[in-house]
Structure 1
Amino acid sequence: MDKEQRQAIKDMLAKRSEANTQSKKQATKWLIDEGLLTTKGQLRAQYGGEDESEKTKRK
């Protein structure tokens, strides 16, 4: 990947971030759609959130 391609990716990500973070609701929906958050709005385990199996063990 050359410098131009890297810059194009950075620009695209910045544009998507700006478009999808206009409100908390919109940002949360975007993160859920991208798979970073669960449908309950919690961080998924693979990204540092609590594993569902750990939650049920504590109950």
Structure 2
Amino acid sequence: MTDAQRREAIRRLIDKHTSKNVVDSKTARDSLIAEGIYTTSGQLRVEFGGIEKKKKKSAA
């Protein structure tokens, strides 16, 4: 397989994945959660630019 063939195969897989996951907003959201980009509460994960929640300090 040449580099051009490999790139084309990857593009086809990406297109297939994208078309399957952008059917509607619920499917798209569920896909992003399953891929670990968003949390189940709908927040962007810190690794992808989300804001880290500050932990409360205990009084002890």
TM range, normalised to the smaller chain? 0.7 to 0.9
CA RMSD in angstroms comes to: 1.6
Find the structure with the greater CA-based Rg.
2
Unaligned 5+ runs, structure 2: none
> TM-score normalized by structure 2?
0.79
- Provide the rounded CA distance (Å) in 1 between the counterparts of 2:4 and 2:27: 31
Moved >6 Å (runs of 4+): none
Q: Structure 1 stretches of 5 or more lacking a match?
A: none
Paired-residue identity, %: 38
> Whose helix proportion is higher, 1 or 2?
1
Aligned residues between the structures: 55
TM-score where L is the length of structure 1: 0.80
